[in-house]
Amino acid sequence: MEQNEIVVKLLSAIKKNPEQSQRSLSKAIGVSVGKVNYVVKELAKKGIIKTERFLNSNNKWQYRYILTPEGIKEKARITREFVKRKMAEYESLLNDD
């Protein structure tokens, strides 16, 4: 899976449920927990997501991931690039015939 595809899937999963654990996010998007951890840290550094600690029902600290306005813009930009690239691939396949 390409990095941009991972980012879009991760941002979509976070938007659906900001209180998911990294393990849950990894299952949802089909990558390792380590990869999710790395991408989450990078997105937080870039200001695309914010992380907040909260106490969950099991008396453990957990993180909530929040898309920033910049994150919403970035998700839209990456999605546009992805669709554009897939359309070019599709047209290339049509022209090969």
Number of domains forming the structure of the chain: 1
* Per-residue pLDDT at 57: 60
On whether residue 95 sits in a domain, the answer given is no
* Per-residue pLDDT at 12: 92
Per-residue pLDDT tens for 36-86? Answer: 999 999 999 999 999 888 766 665 667 889 889 999 998 899 889 988 988
On whether residue 48 sits in a domain, the answer given is yes
Domain boundaries, position 37: 3-89
Handedness of CA 10, 13, 15, 20 (dihedral sign): negative
* Per-residue pLDDT at 96: 76
Reported as type and span, the H/E element at residue 28 is helix 22-29
Per-residue pLDDT tens for 8-19? Answer: 999 999 999 988
* Per-residue pLDDT at 26: 95
CATH classification of the domain holding 53:
1.10.10.10
